[in-house]
Amino acid sequence: MQNYNVSFGNKEIIFVVEQFGSPLWFYDFEVIKKRIGDLRSFDIVRYAQKAAPNVNLLSRMRHLGLAVDAVSAGEIVRALKAGFAPSQIKYTADIFDKEALVLVKEHSIPVNIGSSDMLAQLHEAGIEVPLTIRVNPGFGHGHSQKVNTGGEFSKHGVWHGELEVLAQNAERLGFTIECLHTHIGSGSDFAHLSRVVSAMEGLVPAACKNLNTISVGGGLPVSYKRGKQNNMNLGKYYDMWDNARKRISESIGHNIQLEVEPGRYLVAESCVLAAEIRAVKKMGKNLFYLVDAGFTDLIRPAFYGAYHHISIISRTNKELGKEVDAIVAGPLCESGDVFTQEEGGTVVSRKLPLAQVGDLLVIHDAGAYGSTMSSNYNSRLLAPEILWENETFIPIRKRQTFEQMLENELAFC
Ligand SMILES: Cc1ncc(COP(=O)(O)O)c(C=O)c1O
């Protein structure tokens, strides 16, 4: 499978930082378009917006024909603001909070239920919407244990052995189960994802005759390490599901649509986090580059031990120095604020050019679970997001201000 690198280069990154300050998120929409194109064989591509929910990205994806997943009331609001029709949105969760239930009712948003309590609450609220059931097939897999969403230790979905009873209850209450859904984890691999096919085929008889769609979930991997090929053969993956779809369609007597629900796959490679080196210092034998972005911006290395390719851009037009071993860390008052660490928190160094204060440090493939997982910890402001589209710089989110950060507290001073 092809890797799509961003089409902007160092010149554009320097320019955008000079215009909008650092740190910032810089997206290339062309990469997202190409990734969407890779999945065109599926009947429905439902974007799991949790990966990068900027409303300006969502509206562009809507124009390209995508449907959208929403895992919270806030994500429903984002999808509506981006212009999605309620029927193009699906609320996927294991609980309803009050706000979500109100929005589902008000807009008749289709729901993907992950617990029998959700069914009861829909019924109590007098809501009649098409139903999907998310099934935990009894196994899961992801790039980290923290993103494995299947098996007995996962909170997600309806346990496969309980599907039949839930489906019967739903029918008895007058709901139509249109879709069966599984999502075993994020950043999985071909071997694990392919196990879902036979699990899904085994589940269909327990659901009901009104199924019109099966959703294969997300989890499609991307390769974060340069030069490392993604082990995912998308053509083979699609064929496997398409064959299953044909068998299922035949067994229930009508045609079934195939839905895929990617998050990471569409956006990961589309974005870099650009930061500035603000200190270069030695700790014994270790060299540290301290930058003005921290895990309050990109939490993946600290939270999952995730690897991101890092490059450096000289701001002085000088050639970058020879390669050295450097540890890249952020500004937070928190020792885990290190971008070069492995799962479990082991700090490691990276071969990087010898750099100096003022040079830019670029963290690549930061589009998925990047900006969206940012926080105000240490009272750091959320960074701006800029889109590179048709060779122009388009701001899609301003830098947060101190006033915005403090607004709800100052209201009581
Ligand atoms: C229900 C559901 N669908 C889709 C996704 C997207 O996963 P990924 O970003 O790995 O494609 C997730 C994320 O874990 C999810 O929980």
389-409: average pLDDT: 97
- Candidates 3.40.630.20, 1.10.275.30, 2.60.120.10, 2.40.37.10; CATH matching 269-410: 2.40.37.10
User: Is the Cα torsion angle 157, 160, 165, 170 positive or negative in sign?
Assistant: positive
- Residue 410's φ and ψ, nearest 5 degrees, are -65, -20
Query: Could you tell which of 112, 183, 260, 269 is best to mutate to test the pocket of ligand 1, judged by most ligand atoms within 8 Å of the CB?
Result: 183
- Fold classification of 40-261 is TIM Barrel (3.20.20)
Is the pLDDT reported for residue 24 higher than 90? Answer: yes
Region of 171 please: left (phi>0), alpha (psi -120 to 50) or beta: alpha
Helix axes 55-63, 29-38, angle to 10 degrees: 50
Q: Give residues with Cβ within 8 angstroms of 18, minimum separation 6.
A: none
Residue 216 tokens read as: 């294969």
Question: Which amino acid appears at position 179 of this protein?
Answer: C
pLDDT band at 192 (very low <50, low <70, confident <90, very high): confident
Q: Is 256 helix (H, G, I), strand (E, B) or coil?
A: coil
Residue owning tokens 């082990």: 231
The domain limits of the chain are 40-261, 269-410
Q: Active-site residue among 179, 208, 271, 333?
A: 333
Length of the chain: 413
Sign of the CA dihedral running 219, 226, 57, 295 = positive
User: What one-letter code names the amino acid at 232?
Assistant: M
pTM of the model: 0.96
Pair of tokens at residue 303: 């939270």
pLDDT band at 320 (very low <50, low <70, confident <90, very high): confident
Q: Give the DSSP H/E element, type plus range, for residue 307.
A: none
Q: Is 217 in the pocket of ligand 1 (CB under 6 A)?
A: yes
Residue 39 CB neighbours (<10 A): 18
Residue keyed to tokens 């799991």: 48
pLDDT of residue 303 exceeding 60: yes
Q: SS3 letters for 342-407?
A: CCCCCECCEEEECCCCCCEEEECCCCCCCHHHCCCHHHCCCCCEEEEECCEEEEEECCCCHHHHHH
Residue 226 has pLDDT above 90, yes or no: no
Q: Is 333 a catalytic residue?
A: yes
- Give the pLDDT confidence of 323-346 residue by residue, as tens digits: 999 999 999 999 999 999 999 999
Per-residue model confidence as pLDDT tens digits over 242-278: 999 999 999 999 999 999 999 999 999 999 999 999 9
Helix axes 116-124, 98-107, angle to 10 degrees: 60
Q: How confident is the model at residue 231, as a pLDDT?
A: 66
Question: Is 51 close to ligand 1, i.e. is its CB under 6 Å away?
Answer: yes
